[in-house]
Amino acid sequence: MYQLHPYQAKLVSQARQALAKGNKAVLLQSPAGSGKSIMIAEVARLAVAKGGQVMFMVHRKELVSQIKQSFRENDVDLTKCTVQTVGKIAHRLDILPIPTLIITDETHHSLAKTYQSIYNYYAGVPRLGFTATPWRLNGKGLHDVYDELVLGPSIDWLIENHYLAPYKYFSVKLVNDEKLKKSSTGDYTTKSMDDAVGRTIFGDVVKTYQEKTAGQQAIVYAHSVEFSKEVAGAFRAAGINAEHADAKTPAAKRNKIMTDFKSGELKVLCNVDLISEGFNVPDCSVVIMLRPTESLVLYIQQSMRSMRYRPNKVATIIDHVANYTRFGLPDDEHTWTLDDRKKRKKKASDALPIRTCEFCFAVIPASSTVCPVCGKAIQRSESEIEVDQEVKLEQIHGRLDMKTEYNTVRYGRMKPSEAQSMEDLYGIAKARGYKPGWAWFQAKQLGLIKN
């Protein structure tokens, strides 16, 4: 049976209390890699132990197999559980056992009609949903599905407390953004991604992997099956064991690919949106993003896939399509809510307050006068000072033009308790975007400032 971490036990308790006080449906948000499967298994165990019948649903069959294994490991009686995909449940409503609790994983999908038909059929049954990202590309909130939102810890907190791995972030822009066109869903069309990515990217992808993460296990996210297969072929041509998998890959072959990857025999796994939500690959330390996206959900799910915790592990994210210029870094704070999100056109003032160090190409705060990575002074003109919010990151072809060790070098990942001076604390504050007052307060706590 699982031994939950304190923060996981607290979230499970909060969610159950929210249901107990009369809410019909509660959404539990917790970051990618924070152990939602473990929390789901504990909720199911507690419900079944009280004589309940649990219905668990998710949108992909791979996740069904994964949660069943979690239930077994947590001593959940599977005879008291319906664990199926949303599609299967929707076609079996009249023959399935009536649940006393419905659990939905990756519930940011739950505005879809199939989910709604299930919820309406079991209108009086309490519901608990789980997601790392309660966010929809069309701006629609989940307030019609859930009554209350329980928020989990921040990604920074999970990293600092050794529940997620720290990461290095490298980026080179190998796409032409001007060719990207949005579809009716709000994300980019496959045709426009074909045009934007082109056919010159393969050598750069393999070369960067070899330079930065040679020998490590990597997941590659591509935008199309054809492109993913070509990338896998480029890795194999370089003597690196790589395979492609997608939703239409025959089950037996796909299972072997997944088994080989989890065992370490397969080094590079190329896919198209298959290994994103909920896919547990604890030994993967590298993510390579080749799919530009306008979806914050997709970006977070994919970029953080390498950040599952392991002692002394440092994850690496290689962003060849500069997705972080659209969304920031994976551990940037987001205000999660059940409310609708108002759409607005981007303005120049919305640009990320960051710039590229001209010496080491680290992505650093735009206000920096000294690069926190290489330590060199940053020369800033008067015009740059006036337009900090409009910094543009220039492309430098053939090398990493935007490189950051934001979370692993110097102050970016130094713990406050490790600080030896006020200079250290001010460096941590600057790297994390905190106000100077935070450093003074920490100094008082650490005894660096005497009364």
Quickly list DSSP for 152-195. ---HHHHHHTTSB--EEEEE---S-GGG--B-TTSSB-HHHHHH
Q: How confident is the model at residue 184 (pLDDT cuts 50, 70, 90)?
A: confident
What is the amino acid identity at position 188? Y
Average pLDDT of the residues in 19-47: 96
H/E run at residue 151? strand 148-151
Of 140-149, 252-261, 264-273, 414-423, the one with minimum mean pLDDT is 414-423
SS3 category, 286: strand
Q: How confident is the model at residue 55 (pLDDT cuts 50, 70, 90)?
A: very high
Q: Phi/psi of residue 152, each to 5°? A: -85, -175
The domain that holds 73 is classified in CATH as: 3.40.50.300
Tokens of 308: 């599952």
- Whole-angstrom Cα distance, residue 277 to residue 62? 10
- Whole-angstrom Cα distance, residue 106 to residue 147? 17
Residues 213 and 292 in one domain: yes
Tokens of 202: 């393969």
| CB 400 within 8 Å of CB 171 | yes
Of 94-98, 157-161, 322-326, the one with minimum mean pLDDT is 322-326
Q: Report the residue count for the chain.
A: 451
Res 246: pLDDT: 85
Q: Phi/psi of residue 385, each to 5°? A: -60, -35
pLDDT of 219 strictly over 80: yes
| CB 407 within 8 Å of CB 166 | yes
What is the amino acid identity at position 351? A
Average pLDDT of the residues in 27-49: 96
Please report whether residue 371 resides in a domain.
Answer: no
- Whole-angstrom Cα distance, residue 363 to residue 357? 7
SS3 category, 48: helix
Please report whether residue 404 resides in a domain.
Answer: no
- Whole-angstrom Cα distance, residue 278 to residue 260? 19
Burial class, 242, CB count within 10 angstroms (exposed 0-12 / middle 13-18 / buried 19+):
buried
Sign for the pseudo-dihedral over CA of 64, 66, 68, 74 = negative
Tokens of 139: 């701006």
Residues 183 and 134 in one domain: no
What is the percent of the chain with per-residue pLDDT over 70, rounded to a whole number?
77
Sign for the pseudo-dihedral over CA of 134, 140, 141, 143 = negative
Residues 140 and 204 in one domain: no
- Whole-angstrom Cα distance, residue 353 to residue 328? 10
pLDDT of 130 strictly over 80: yes
Tokens of 415: 């713990």
| CB 301 within 8 Å of CB 291 | no
Instruction: Return the closest-CA partner of residue 80 out of 114, 40, 44.
Output: 44
The domain boundary residue, chosen from 309, 339, 369: 339
SS3 category, 141: coil
The domain boundary residue, chosen from 153, 180, 210: 153
pLDDT of 432 strictly over 80: no
Distance in angstroms between the alpha carbons of the first and the last residue of the chain: 49
Tokens of 303: 């970029």
pLDDT of 346 strictly over 60: no
pLDDT of 423 strictly over 80: no
Structural domain boundaries enclosing 433: 414-446
Res 237: pLDDT: 95
Residues 264 and 224 in one domain: yes
Partners of residue 105 on adjacent β-strands:
130
Residues 122 and 240 in one domain: no
Res 404: pLDDT: 35
Please report whether residue 351 resides in a domain.
Answer: no
Residues 30 and 107 in one domain: yes
402-404 and 167-171 as β-strands: parallel, antiparallel, unpaired? antiparallel
Q: Phi/psi of residue 148, each to 5°? A: -145, 150
Please report whether residue 382 resides in a domain.
Answer: no
Please report whether residue 188 resides in a domain.
Answer: yes
Q: How many CB atoms lie within 10 A of CB 123?
A: 7
SS3 category, 9: helix
The total number of structural domains that make up the chain: 3
Tell me the pLDDT tens digit for each residue of 236-245.
999 999 999 9
Residues 333 and 291 in one domain: yes
pLDDT of 228 strictly over 60: yes
String of DSSP letters for 233-262: HHHHHTT--EEEE-TTS-HHHHHHHHHHHH
Please report whether residue 290 resides in a domain.
Answer: yes
- Whole-angstrom Cα distance, residue 357 to residue 406? 12
- Whole-angstrom Cα distance, residue 400 to residue 360? 10
Rounded (5°) CA angle 165-169-173: 150
Residues 99 and 195 in one domain: no
Tokens of 446: 């650490």
> Which residue shows structure tokens 């709000």?
186
pLDDT of 234 strictly over 70: yes
Q: How confident is the model at residue 421 (pLDDT cuts 50, 70, 90)?
A: confident
Residues 53 and 176 in one domain: no
pLDDT of 165 strictly over 90: yes
Q: How confident is the model at residue 185 (pLDDT cuts 50, 70, 90)?
A: confident
Residue 93: C-alpha distances to residues 105, 112, 138 (Å): 19, 17, 29
- Whole-angstrom Cα distance, residue 86 to residue 107? 11
Please report whether residue 220 resides in a domain.
Answer: yes
